[in-house]
A and B are shown apart, each in its own frame.
Chain A
Amino acid sequence: GGSLTKLAYYSTVQHKVARVRSFDHSGKDIENEPLYEISVQEEITARLHFIKFENTYIETCLDFIKDHLVNTETKVIKATGGGAYKFKDLIEKKLGLKVDKEDVMTCLIKGCNFVLRNIPHEVFAYQKDSDTEFRFQTNHPNIFPYLLVNIGSGVSIVKVETEDKFEWIGGSSIGGGTFWGLGALLTKTKKFDELLQLASKGQHTNVDMLVKDVYGGAYQTLGLSGNLIASSFGKSTTADKEFSKEDMAKSLLHMISNDIGQLACLYAKLHNLDKIYFGGFFIRGHPVTMRTITYSINFFSKGEVQALFLRHEGYLGAIGAFLKGAEQDNPNQYSWGENYAGSSGLMSTSPDVYPMQRTRSGTFDMLEMDRLERPLVNLPLLKDPSTYIPDTVDLTDDAMARKYWLTCFEEALDGVAKRAAASQPDSIDALERAEKFRQKYWNKLQTLRQQPFAYGTLTVRSLLDTREHCLNEFNFPDPYSKVKQKENGIALKCFQSVIESLDSLGWEERQFALVKGLLAGNVFDWGAKAVSDVLESEPQFGFEEAKSKLQERPWLEDSYSQWLERLKEGPPHKCALIFADNSGIDIILGVFPFVRELLSRGTEVILACNSGPALNDVTYSESLIVTERIAAMDPVIQSALREEKLLLVQTGSSSPCLDLSRLDKGLAVLVRERKTDLVIIEGMGRAIHTNYYAALKCESLKLAVIKNSWLADRLGGKIFSVIFKYEVPCK
């Protein structure tokens, strides 16, 4: 670019992952052996890095590339933008690679499609005068068609219809270069940022002729407000009056923003589009221009068209150029996930409040995306994927909740760091790494206090995920592995007696006991503060005690009677999809007896567990071992496994929460094949923090025990209140 270099590169990252492996128990006394073996292994994964820095550092950057460039068949480096020309010789000389210049717009659109598809909360609308100015959008499953308006020195308006089909449908010469060039002439201010600063302090009404200047008031018959600009610079038609720099800059900003907005709306109307993404240096993170463009679009489209902005707008060209270069590897076949630990967020919108942040982000900024092993897709059972929002509370919106949760995560941080260090007693640098983790996550939390929108919509989920990413960053892939191992072992020993006592009950009693078991199991959650306190001090906190802690019926949310009715009167479900939560008592004594009952009714079961570790949640690989052990004890489970009536799948996620729009493709395929007609979501993270309001096409059961007194209070209950939400979609 003109002043910033954006570099995109692909690397392999070596990091530690926790693995579990079943022991060979043949002929051994298994009583005192752990259930399975845990090992930490090195794994190599792929990561995309995007870095933005000032052009002055380009030589340093080229040295870095030279040192880290893995000897491959790479002969060319793809470059785009104005600087591709300028630095061509330098790059070729330093790296010994040929510079291949790529078309700017093609790169931009490739990059745009990539971020729209892969980064949740990439897109936001700007709203002034609200607590947080950014309103993030749910990713629509179909991103096309859209209009991309790139405001560089001029304006390009491009209609994008498919991945490879786009068309330049128009443009305008009045753009960022006009603001900058004309602004420099009028105000003798040289820098773009300074011009924007001037503009934000000015009064355009001193320079512009307003409708009320012409009419003396509003133009009633046309419904034009008196404050509308009738003629930009219409008051400066005199040689003998001085105008302030600020006022002229403001007038110029309005003139240009309005003009662009108007043209964009005219093009949107002609092509029947209602989404316009804005980018280019005129927009890039500048709240002032986002505000005026948004205003203009609202005005000219009468609210029918939405002005949208992208969090990673500045990287689009670099991402696109990278993708062009990597076409052989086809990065688009993979799903990618934003790594919160390695990415700097959006810069502050109020430089006065937080100047440091802005300076840093303005000059050095990065984005990292991990390549996910398997593609992620929507759950086919979502009622309306385009309006599905996983998160129940938007903390960017809800200042009180935000304050509570940020404090809650801050207070829990020392404990998490301590546990992380303790999980690797044999490692000499565990303490040091745990401290680094603590510092990094602490800083993230502080950033989020200042800029809740830094990584998209702030939610309990994003706070949890960020913590997991930070733990991974410092090689704590699974701090709870030993705890989970131990709990799984203990719970397995109780499995048979739990089943026996359930089997001794009458049908109706048993249904209730199963639900209660499921709920009691869910009390065992290290992620919840109230429980981890108890578990720390009373490791033998028993299943029965948990049951006694549960709220008595009627529960806080209680549709148990309807559920029972459904079981009694209706035909058995064809197939149930269960999202499991915690390992140990939860999965083994809560979920499995429930699964067993469903199987006995003739319902097939798909049991979905996380692909990677998060807190004490059961992982897919742990679930395989646990299931195998249960099958050895229980003929119902055993035959179901053999006949493929019980299927174990991974969710594709490593989060304590659940985003039903980003699930493993294999899961989605299976759900469709087996004609799944019941979805069961368990636990606070998956059924309350997320998906509490998720609407599905089939019957669903959301159950959880609220293990946080603040949240319980908010929902109108007490700690250990029960949520039992059985929903049938309306016909």
Chain B
Amino acid sequence: VFPWFGLDIGGTLVKLVYFEPKDITAEEEEEEVENLKSIRKYLTSNVAYGSTGIRDVHLELKDLTLCGRKGNLHFIRFPTHDMPAFIQMGSEKHFSSLHTTLCATGGGAYKFEQDFRTMGDLQLCKLDELDCLIKGVLYIDSVGFNGRSECYYFENPTDAERCQKLPFNLENPYPLLLVNIGSGVSILAVYSKENYKRVTGTSLGGGTFFGLCCLLTGCSTFEEALEMASHGDSTKVDKLVRDIYGGDYERFGLPGWAVASSFGNMMSKEKRESVSKEDLAKATLITITNNIGSIARMCALNENINRVVFIGNFLRINTISMRLLAYALDYWSKGQLKALFLEHEGYFGAVGALLELLDSA
């Protein structure tokens, strides 16, 4: 029964995937209730919903076959704080009359369950976050990205001229370390489709970057924060190894360019007064990214895994972080570890939820 949705309600963002059937027969079209039709039209004919909902058109998967049906998969996101409005809309559009199951994962599936029931007359099917995530990753990687590779890596990540984004064949994915960077970070070791475990997590994630940027620069969107960061110079904010030792610290094999103390220069009043908001945004981004890289690297070593796949919406339009992760992992592991990325960054949980819906049907 259409419609087919998968929902992932995170701490900051709600991710919604919607399967738009393109092989609707005339009879089906005839039978399709008005509600359903209007939902389909509304979602597919717009790229923005309300003031905050966005459809990532560039991620759309075309001509996908799911459960014997052909269609397009759409990727939509909006802030979690608009969740009540979303439920309200569902209620106004009489979503409950469609008698479909709404599969949801993420913390919000628990947090908003009650609201869905009382405000929207909808029973959520709550799904495990990690199950969905892994299912989604494996599925999207297997179907590819409209004929291209879903998985990629960076060659020469620090060299602006020579840096290249290259496809990576993830045909034999196991074992892999999956680092999901949302508001916070979860790190999973995946040994097979069913065999995986959450290794650890850190609270220093995308939410920390954005939260600190808001406090430090007064910015109000993630995009704005990233834009500022792209124009900043973090070395004015951070204390580097060379700032302390005049060059490399050879005793420990530390290169002079390495950050010795994040925000370390900000201990000095003069330096606090001479940095720009852009510098601060960049330093925040570098601090959080390096830290995630460092924890991921340690987990990979402890789990004896050498492929690390970074996903999550922190990486959306965030080439700085991706290239830094790629470089840091390679450098500190002396080439032993490889950082991989996936095109659909933050949508795997939602895709997993959709797949669960189809499995259960």
Contact residues of A with B, CB < 8 Å?
82, 103, 105-106, 152-154, 156, 168, 170-178, 180-182, 184-186, 190, 207-209, 211, 213-217, 219, 221-222, 228-240, 243, 248, 255, 258-259, 262-263, 266-267, 269-270, 300
Contacts and interface: CB of A to CB of B under 8 A. Distances in A.
B198 interface: yes
Contacts of B269: 190
Contacts of A228: 203
A502 B107 CA distance: 85
A234 B264 contact: no
Nearest to A155: B261
B211 A231 contact: yes
Contacts of B113: 216
Interface string B211-224: 11011101110000
B287 A221 contact: no
B214 A259 contact: no
Contacts of A258: 202-203
Contact of A231 (B110, B184, B258, B259): B184
Contact of B212 (A216, A236, A269): A236
Contacts of B267: 153, 177, 180-181, 184
B263 A177 contact: yes
B298 A263 contact: yes
B183 A182 contact: no
B264 A231 contact: no
B184 A173 contact: no
Size bracket, chain B contacts: 35 or more
Nearest to B240: A173
Contacts of B210: 237
B211 A185 contact: no
B262 A178 contact: yes
A208 B260 contact: no
Contacts of A231: 11-12, 182-184, 203, 205-208, 211
A324 to B, nearest CB: 14
Contacts of B294: 170, 172, 263
A229 B290 CA distance: 20
B214 A239 contact: yes
B302 interface: yes
Nearest to A158: B252
Given A168-B253, A231-B205, A233-B215, A173 B260 contact: yes
A229 B218 CA distance: 23
A237 B314 CA distance: 13
A105 to B, nearest CB: 7
A211 B107 contact: yes
Contact of A230 (B183, B260, B299, B302): B183
B203 A229 contact: yes
B204 interface: yes
Interface string B111-128: 111000000000000001
15 contacts: A153-B260, A170-B294, A174-B204, A174-B262, A174-B287, A175-B261, A177-B239, A217-B110, A230-B183, A232-B207, A234-B211, A237-B12, A239-B214, A263-B294, A266-B299
A103 to B, nearest CB: 6
Nearest to A300: B200
Contact of B291 (A82, A105, A243, A259): A259
B88 interface: no
A45 B263 CA distance: 48
B11 A255 contact: no
Interface in B293-307: 294-295, 298-299, 301-302
A316 to B, nearest CB: 17
Nearest to B9: A214
B163 to A, nearest CB: 23
Interface string B261-293: 111111101001000000010000001001100
Nearest to B217: A239
B10 interface: yes
A493 B287 CA distance: 82
Contacts of B238: 173
Interface of B: 10-12, 106-108, 110-113, 128, 130, 182-184, 198, 200, 202-208, 210-212, 214-216, 218-220, 237-239, 244, 251-254, 258-267, 269, 272, 280, 287, 290-291, 294-295, 298-299, 301-302
Contact of A239 (B206, B218, B261, B265): B218
A209 B239 contact: no
7 nearest CB pairs, A to B = A181-B266, A233-B211, A231-B207, A214-B107, A177-B261, A216-B111, A234-B207
Contacts of B291: 172-174, 259
B261 A181 contact: yes
Contact of A213 (B11, B244, B258, B302): B11
Contacts of A235: 211
B110 A215 contact: yes
A255 B204 contact: yes
Contacts of A222: 130, 198
A269 B199 CA distance: 13
Nearest to A269: B302
Contacts of B206: 231
A231 B259 CA distance: 23
Nearest to B271: A181
B290 A173 contact: yes
Contact of A219 (B107, B203, B261): B107
B302 A233 contact: no
A237 B214 contact: yes
A186 B264 contact: no
A244 B291 CA distance: 26
B105 to A, nearest CB: 11
B263 A178 contact: yes
A267 B297 CA distance: 11
A265 to B, nearest CB: 9
Nearest to A153: B261
Contacts of A263: 294-295, 298
B11 A236 contact: no
A234 B12 contact: yes
Contact of B110 (A152, A168, A216, A300): A216
Contact of A266 (B130, B198, B218, B298): B298
Contacts of A178: 261-264, 287
Nearest to B253: A168
Contact of A185 (B184, B202, B263, B287): B263
Given A174-B287, A216-B107, A234-B184, 5 more contacts: A154-B262, A168-B251, A177-B264, A231-B12, A237-B12
A185 B280 contact: yes
Contacts of A186: 215-216
Contacts of A105: 251-252
A248 B215 contact: yes
A233 to B, nearest CB: 3
Give the one of B10, B112, B183, B205 with max A CB within 10 A: B183
A514 to B, nearest CB: 63
Contact of B208 (A172, A255, A300): A255
A173 B287 CA distance: 8
A208 B203 contact: yes
B262 A234 contact: no
A185 B218 CA distance: 13
A236 B214 contact: yes
Contacts of B183: 209, 214, 230-231, 234
Contacts of B10: 214
Contacts of A259: 202, 204, 291
Given A214-B107, A233-B208, A237-B207, A173 B261 contact: yes
B298 to A, nearest CB: 4
A184 B272 contact: yes
Contact of B207 (A216, A233, A239, A267): A233
A239 B219 CA distance: 6
